[in-house]
């Protein structure tokens, strides 16, 4: 579960806010309890004063001698002060007698395992991993979509047996079952070294390519991988705005940030629908080259065939894709049309 520095800082800010919020809850509990049971406040104040006095004695041995020799054991001092009881037990007793929960004045933690630090010993707490996954969902641009579009909600009834591929003769159902299996295998074996971690989904518009990219994204995020999703138009608009801002202001290119260049998986949806020009070609090649050379995965979906990719982009782009990406074809009728007809 690799994290960039900014991602780690974002998670730790969650813990900071959590501790502050819980501290406010503790203060409110004390205010209510002290108001209802003044003896509780007196007890806590006496314990705090005794502790401070003992610290001063330890730091200044002369205080011990002035008190007449060896100090009274601290535990005995506290019990004497609390009427012969352990102060914590005395506190619980007072709370019970006044109809408060026994733990009403205990520290408040969202996670009892790590006490809201994110660590149990030297290891990350399970709650830290949950926060990381939550962050990955937020940064993926897919937070709400993946609840409804994943392998569990995939409906194969949109791919009939009687619709045949004109070249292979295979049915839409057969082709899509193979495509889904390939996408599952890609997600299951991601970063295992058993496969290429780059996938190209091709097919006509509306046959479920975007849905399959969402399925892959959910599986990887749930397994602790950072995923960033962009439609091709959004991505290249973002890159162009950043390039323009850099030219105008001389600022660092913010699109070459930790999220875009450092995420485990980058998904580019609908490649070929953007306005293709020299800038797009250059930016796409740089992105492909950078991520592939660093062993970072990509999933690209496109309405273009392999031949159309070669005609639309430069030879070096199409060859880079063909040599590094596993090709998966989707085939069927436009699902959006089918849904309208079903309604």
At 26-71, the pLDDT tens digits run 999 999 999 999 999 988 888 888 778 777 777 776 555 555 444 5
pLDDT given at position 69: 45
CA–CA distance, 153 with 4 (Å, rounded to integer): 32
Instruction: List, for residues 161-180, the tens digit of each pLDDT value.
Output: 999 999 999 999 999 999 99
Mean pLDDT of 83-111: 91
pLDDT band at 249 (very low <50, low <70, confident <90, very high): low
Check if the beta carbon of residue 338 is closer than 8 Å to that of residue 252: no
Residue 167 near residue 294, CB atoms below 8 Å: no
Handedness of CA 130, 132, 138, 143 (dihedral sign): negative
> Could you report the per-residue pLDDT of 286-339, keeping only the tens digit for each?
999 989 999 999 999 999 998 899 899 989 999 999 999 999 999 999 999 898
Q: Phi then psi for 326, rounded to 5 degrees?
A: -80, 130
Cite the DSSP H helix spans in the chain.
5-36, 38-59, 61-66, 74-81, 87-97, 126-139, 172-188, 209-222, 232-249, 258-262, 278-293, 306-312, 315-324, 335-342
Rounded to whole angstroms, the Cα distance separating 128 from 160 reads 44
Helix (H, G, I), strand (E, B) or coil at 305: coil
Distance CA(11)–CA(245), nearest Å, equals 29
Q: CB–CB of 223/188 below 8 Å?
A: no
- Cα distance from N-terminal residue to C-terminal residue, the chain: 43
* Residues 222, 321 contacting (CB under 8 angstroms): no
Where are the chain's structural domains? 5-124, 140-342
Pairwise CA distance, residues 138 & 300, whole Å: 21
Q: Which residues pair with 199 in a beta bridge?
A: 299, 326
- Decide yes or no: CATH 3.50.50.60 for domain 140-342: no
Share of the chain above pLDDT 70, in %: 89
Residue spans of beta strands (DSSP E) within 151-214: 198-202
Give the phi and the psi of residue 141 in degrees, each rounded to 5. Answer: 70, 15
State pLDDT tens for residues 122-142. Answer: 999 999 999 999 999 988 989
CA dist list (Å): 71 to 60, 64, 82, 83, 86 = 12, 6, 18, 19, 19
> Residue 68: its pLDDT value, please?
47
Query: How far is CA 319 from each of CA 235, 242, 277, rounded to the nearest angstrom?
Result: 21, 27, 18
Position 247 scores a pLDDT of 57
Question: Which residue did the predictor score with more confidence, 231 or 340?
Answer: 231
Q: What band does 145 get if pLDDT is binned at 50, 70 and 90? A: very high
Task: Pick 1 or 12 by higher pLDDT.
Answer: 12
Task: Give the mean pLDDT of the chain.
Answer: 88
Flag whether pLDDT at 100 surpasses 70: yes
What value does the CA radius of gyration of the chain take, rounded to a whole number of Å?
31
pLDDT value at residue 72 = 59
Helix (H) or strand (E) holding 236: helix 232-249
pTM of the full predicted structure?
0.77
* Rounded distance between C-alpha atoms, residue 224 and residue 264, angstroms: 10
CB 159 within 8 A of CB 172: yes
């Amino acid at each position: 579960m690799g994290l960039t520095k900014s991602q780690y800082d974002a998670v730790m800010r969650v813990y900071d806010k959590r501790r502050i919020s819980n501290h406010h809850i503790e203060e409110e509990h004390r205010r209510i309890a002290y108001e209802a049971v003044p003896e509780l406040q007196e007890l806590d104040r006496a314990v705090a004063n005794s502790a401070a006095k003992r610290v001063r004695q330890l730091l200044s041995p002369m205080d011990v001698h002035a008190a007449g020799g060896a100090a009274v054991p601290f535990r005995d001092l506290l019990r004497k002060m609390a009427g012969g009881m352990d102060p914590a037990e005395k506190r619980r007793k007072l709370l019970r007698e006044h109809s408060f929960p026994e733990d009403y004045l205990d520290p408040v933690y969202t996670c009892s395992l790590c006490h809201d630090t994110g660590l149990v010993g030297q290891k990350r707490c399970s709650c830290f991993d949950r926060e990381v996954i939550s962050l990955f969902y937020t940064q993926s641009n897919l937070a709400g979509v993946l609840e409804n579009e994943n392998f569990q909600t995939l409906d194969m009834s949109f791919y009939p047996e009687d619709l045949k591929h004109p070249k292979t003769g295979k049915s839409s159902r057969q082709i899509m079952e193979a495509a889904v299996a390939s996408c599952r295998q890609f997600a299951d074996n991601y970063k295992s070294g058993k496969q290429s971690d780059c996938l190209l989904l091709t097919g006509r518009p509306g046959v479920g390519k975007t849905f399959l990219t969402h399925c892959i994204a959910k599986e990887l995020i749930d397994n602790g991988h950072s995923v960033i999703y962009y439609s091709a138009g959004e991505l290249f608009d973002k890159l162009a705005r950043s390039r323009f801002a850099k030219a105008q202001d001389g600022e660092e290119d913010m699109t070459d940030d930790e999220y875009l260049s450092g995420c485990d998986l980058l998904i580019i949806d609908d490649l070929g629908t953007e306005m293709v020009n020299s800038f797009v070609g250059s930016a796409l090649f740089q992105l492909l080259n950078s991520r592939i050379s660093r062993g970072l995965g990509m999933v690209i979906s496109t309405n273009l065939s392999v031949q159309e990719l070669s005609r639309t982009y430069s030879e070096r782009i199409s060859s880079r894709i063909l040599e590094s990406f596993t090709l998966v074809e989707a085939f069927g009728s436009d699902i959006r049309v089918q849904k309208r007809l079903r309604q």
